[in-house]
Every structure is written in structure tokens, then in C-alpha cells.
Amino acid sequence: FDNFYVSPSCSPTRAALLTGMHEFRNGVIHTQQPREHLQRDAVTLPDLLKTAGYRTGFIGKWHLCGQKGYAPLDRGFTWSATNPKGPRAHFNVDIIRNNKKFPTKGYREDVFFNEAMTFMDESVAQKKPFFCYLSTYSPHDPLAAPEEFITPFKGKCSDEQATYLAMIANLDYNMGRLLEYMNKKGLDENTMLIFMNDNGVTKGLDVYNANMRGSKCSAWEGGCRAFSFWRWPNKWKPYTANNLTAHLDVLPTLCS
């Protein structure tokens, strides 16, 4: 989708994506408490998909309040995995999966993708259709990445830019891992895969911004125009859709 828009910052985008309601209608207008608390009576996409027999899993960054009544397991998800300390913990993170904590080794985003594949494995074993909502922190500030992903960019830009680009390269690597996994499991042809970002750039603004004005938290295109790639080989052939589209369209489209 080449004309796709989201909210100018992350929590409002997440709330709109999960409810199909603009942030002014769902109560999430900021990233700070209490303005990132999604309304308690809001119906979410996983709520609706569960009525069609779907197993619903959340992995990664939530940012819609983690308190009781607001956390993923209270908002329609039956499976949840995230890490304490959020974007500030990059390596060897603890993971809280369904309220049970355990340590992990390696880079946080690698672990998130591992968790997504664990959820899919369980869904396949139960012979259930699934909705997996994987939300990474990368390339969120503070910046950090495995050295092997930073090395190719060293000497070609500043150290900060090299780390920012390395975080994106790691996401590319993990998307490749996920696609390979889906292929081996026979899930690739009949699973809809959606890949999108939640708002405009901050740290990477001096690297590339597609000639757009503004950044994250601005109402200009640089703040709210996003990429949105949808893949479903059994149903669609690749093409570019130029229709005006947005995060608000995702819930009604998937439910339809």
C-alpha cells in the first residue's frame, strides 16, 4: 500500500490498529500515562477473531498500559510474551510469557521472533487458525544491535547511524527467518502476513526519510505516512495499491 497512514506516535497507532477507532475515539492520545490507557470497553481485533475460532497471540511492545485490566491477556489475547524494561533492555532479556518469567540469551528482537514461532508451533499442534501480533522495539531509541550487524556499516556513516541501520538489518534478517519457518511448516501459502511501521522516524531522520517533511510526532507525512506490505500467496498476486488507506482499515478488513 503506497498511500498508507498511521498516527504520529506509537501508542495511538497501536490503539487504532487494534480497535479500528481513531485515537480521539479510543482514548489513547499519548505515549505517557494515563493517556496510553486503551478504553476498558473497547472491543479489540483479537476479541473479534476469537469468536471465529482463532488462537490469538501477542509478542513484544505493547504500550497500551500493562496494568491489570489493560494488559494483552485482558484485551483479547490468549497468549502473551514480552520483556520487562522495554526498549532499554537489548540483550539476554527476561521474557514474561503468560505471566511466567524466564531468562533468554542473545538479542531481544531475535528472541521476539523465536517467541512468535513458538506460538505458531503451538497453534499448528492444536490445529487452530491463529492471529499473531508481533511488535518489535527496533529501531527504537536507545539504539543497540549485535556487532555483526553493525560492522557492515562502520566507516560509512556515524556510529549512531551504523547502529540504527544495524537494527533495521536485523529485522530484515528475522523476517527472512520467519518466512523460512513458515515455508518449512507449510504455512506460507495460506497465512496472511502484514508488515508495517507505527510512526515516522526519529534517530534515523538524518539517514533517510523519502523526501518527506517532518518526523515522528508531527502531522506532516514524515510523521504519519507508513509502509504497509501485505502478503497472501494463495489469494493475491503482487501489485501496488495507491488507494488512500490507514491503520483504521486493518480491523474491518481482516474481520471481513
Mean pLDDT, each 10-residue run in order, the chain (256 residues): 95 95 88 85 96 97 90 96 95 97 98 98 97 96 97 95 97 98 96 95 89 92 95 96 96 96
Q: Which H helix or E strand runs over 101? A: strand 100-103
Residue 249 pLDDT: 97
Residue 29 pLDDT: 84
- Residue 30 DSSP SS3: coil
CA-to-CA distance for 129 and 50, rounded, in angstroms? 10
Residue 1 pLDDT: 97
* Main-chain dihedrals φ then ψ at residue 220, nearest 5 degrees: -75, 170
Question: Which CB contacts under 8 angstroms, 24+ apart, belong to 178-186?
Answer: 178/113, 178/116, 178/117, 181/117, 181/120, 182/120, 185/120, 185/121, 185/124
Pull the grid cell for residue 126. Answer: 492444536
Distances (CA, A) of 75 to 11, 48, 97, 105, 182: 15, 11, 15, 29, 27
Residue 89 pLDDT: 96
Place of cell 513484544: 60
CA-to-CA distance for 5 and 199, rounded, in angstroms? 9
- Residue 118 DSSP SS3: helix
Residue 134 pLDDT: 98
* Main-chain dihedrals φ then ψ at residue 59, nearest 5 degrees: -135, 130
Residue 34 pLDDT: 85
